């Protein structure tokens, strides 16, 4: 069985994590396949937006704990490979030129919550939950913390990682972690429709908008204005290439 399903709906590429019996937990092979698929979508001329979702009742349960049995001091190469792909996977979303919509169809926990929030736009089913339970297992919500602290207020973010308690869709919406809450049966269709609207934008303008957005989010105000001026000067080229 393929662990990642890839389907195109017009200019929208739909990536579906497909380990429903494992609640789409991220083992090494799925993590690497998803990373490669996101980069492939970004390079594909006919693709202008991406939707990421999960098969079955869960979005993604996070890291596949059964795989951690092999992550011992005797296998440092595998430990390094696992840590490296985790970091690259959670960092690649902001580096893509094309927008990603996450359709959070069910529980998104740990690394799964990180993927859910890494999307440029996030839609969440009314029945879904999102959380970082790592601390309850004596470990740390480590790589995924980078995205969380940039998208939630500090008090809320700390409470999530320090207690390990999940939040429901209404709370996620109130915290600004997701854009919209949708009935489960309508979630994927609305995510694709949202992605289609993004796909209709001229690709040069979308790529520049996304790059500037993430750059400005990390810059001091004056430097963000300067970055905006640089893009403003380049806008005529967008119009010519449209």
Is 223 catalytic? The answer is no
- For β-strands 12-17 and 4-9, DSSP reports them as antiparallel
Helix axes 76-95, 28-43, angle to 10 degrees: 30
Q: How many angstroms separate the CA atoms of 152 and 4, rounded?
A: 29
List 3, 32, 67, 134, catalytic entry: 134
What is the set of active-site residues? Answer: 134
């Amino acid at each position: 069985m393929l662990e990642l399903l890839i389907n195109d709906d017009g200019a929208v590429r739909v990536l579906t994590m497909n380990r429903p019996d494992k609640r789409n937990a991220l083992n090494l092979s799925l993590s690497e396949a998803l990373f490669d698929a996101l980069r492939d979508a970004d390079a594909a001329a006919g693709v202008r937006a991406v939707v990421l979702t999960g098969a079955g009742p869960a979005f993604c349960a996070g890291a596949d704990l059964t795989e951690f049995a092999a992550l011992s001091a005797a296998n440092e190469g595998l430990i390094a490979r696992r840590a490296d792909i985790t970091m690259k996977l959670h960092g690649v979303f902001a580096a893509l030129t094309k927008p990603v919509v996450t359709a959070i169809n069910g529980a998104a926990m740990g690394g799964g919550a990180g993927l859910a929030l890494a999307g440029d736009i996030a839609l969440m089913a009314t029945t879904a939950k999102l959380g970082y339970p790592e601390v309850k297992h004596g470990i740390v919500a480590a790589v995924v913390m980078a995205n969380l602290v940039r998208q939630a207020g500090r008090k809320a973010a700390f409470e999530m990682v320090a207690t390990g308690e999940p939040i429901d869709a209404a709370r996620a919406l109130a915290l600004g972690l997701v854009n919209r809450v949708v009935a489960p049966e309508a979630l994927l269709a609305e995510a694709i429709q949202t992605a289609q609207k993004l796909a209709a934008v001229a690709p040069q303008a979308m790529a520049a908008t996304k790059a500037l957005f993430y750059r400005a989010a990390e810059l001091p105000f004056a430097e963000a204005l300067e970055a905006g001026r640089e893009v403003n000067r380049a806008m005529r080229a967008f119009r010519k290439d449209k």
